[in-house]
Amino acid sequence: MGDTFIHSDAIIENLCKGVIKGEEAENVVERIEKVCKTSIVTYGTLINWLCKAGKLDEAIELSTTVDKKGFTWNVVIYNTLISSLSKALRIEEAKKLLAIMWERGCSHSVKSFTSYIGALCASGKVVEAFQTLDLMVTRHCVPDDVTYLVISQSLTKANLQHAAFKILSEKAIQPTSVMHGIYEKLSDALKASNTKEKETESKKPEV
């Protein structure tokens, strides 16, 4: 039986890759149904490949079929869609999906929170990003090194490391032990930024 499942998974994976070549998701599902029974794994795999192919709207549309088929969403589908929505900076949709995930009793994962928080930072919503980080902890998701890295990189790209550092310093948001990792990374980023500015100034010709 184990070999059968491995064989089916391999077939599903290969058929789902067809969306990258422009094949419609519905056609892929029909082809899969001819060789094996569809499941939540089938739809999760297909949604993942649609997102990889940049077909986010199609992935979201397909996710409604999951409900119609009577399947229960798993954390993989939530993470895939939340991550893709966050990368596209479709923040409100990602936020809504995070809420639905919690309401349906599916525990949040570090990955789903990290991608969303990164999008908030990239959009300049620093305060909301830190508030979400606190929410993350209350829901028993412990931020890891990737979380801190995503936050510091997103803020730096948006040139908002100064604002973020100022917010923490003034305790507009109460810093907790969770914040220390970000605080240190932002401090390093600021030092590097200041050093670069001084080097640029020193190279300017005297008037």
Domain end position, chosen among 43, 72, 101: 72
Q: Are residues 50 and 100 in the same domain?
A: no
Single pTM value for the model: 0.74
Tell me the one-letter amino acid at 16: C
Query: How far, in Å, CA of 162 to CA of 20, rounded?
Result: 41
Q: Are 51 and 103 found together in one domain?
A: no
Q: What confidence score (pLDDT) does residue 160 get?
A: 77
Same domain for 120 and 61? no
Distance CA 137, CA 50 (A): 31
**DSSP assignment string, 44-67:** HHHHHHHHHTT-HHHHHHHHHHHH
Looking at the domain assignment, is residue 85 inside a domain? no
Task: Find the domain containing 161 and state its range.
Answer: 91-202
Is 142 among the domain residues? yes
pLDDT tens digits for 183-192? 777 777 777 7
Residues 192 and 108 in one domain: yes
Residues 120 and 191 both lie in one domain: yes
Task: State the chain's maximal CA–CA distance in angstroms.
Answer: 81
DSSP per-residue codes, 7-36: HHHHHHHHHHGGGGGT--HHHHHHHHHHHS
Residue 17: other Cβ atoms inside 10 A: 16
Q: Where a domain ends, among 72, 99, 122?
A: 72
Q: Are residues 129 and 197 in the same domain?
A: yes
pLDDT tier at 1, thresholds 50, 70, 90: very low
DSSP state of 204: S
Domain shared by 58 and 149, yes or no: no
How many domains is the chain built from?
2
Stronger pLDDT, 200 or 81, i.e. the higher one: 81
What is the band of 114 on the pLDDT scale with cuts at 50, 70, 90?
very high
Same domain assignment for residues 187 and 96: yes
Per-residue pLDDT for 49 more than 50? yes
Q: What is the pLDDT of residues 124-161, one digit of tens each?
A: 888 898 889 888 888 888 888 788 878 877 877 777 77
Same domain, 66 and 95: no
Q: How many CB atoms lie within 10 A of CB 86?
A: 27
The verdict on 109 and 160 lying in the same domain is yes
pLDDT of residue 6: 41
77 assigned to some structural domain: no
Residue 4 has pLDDT above 70, yes or no: no
* Any domain includes 40: yes
Task: Provide the pLDDT for residue 186.
Answer: 72
Residues 97 and 85 sit within 8 Å (Cβ to Cβ): yes
Model confidence over 77-99: pLDDT tens digits? 999 999 999 999 999 999 999 99
Residues 6+ apart with CB under 8 A from 99: none
Write the DSSP assignment of 119-173 as a string of letters: HHHHTT-HHHHHHHHHHHHHTT----HHHHHHHHHHHHHTT-HHHHHHHHHTTSS
pLDDT-derived band at 5 (thresholds 50, 70, 90) equals very low
pLDDT of residue 92: 96
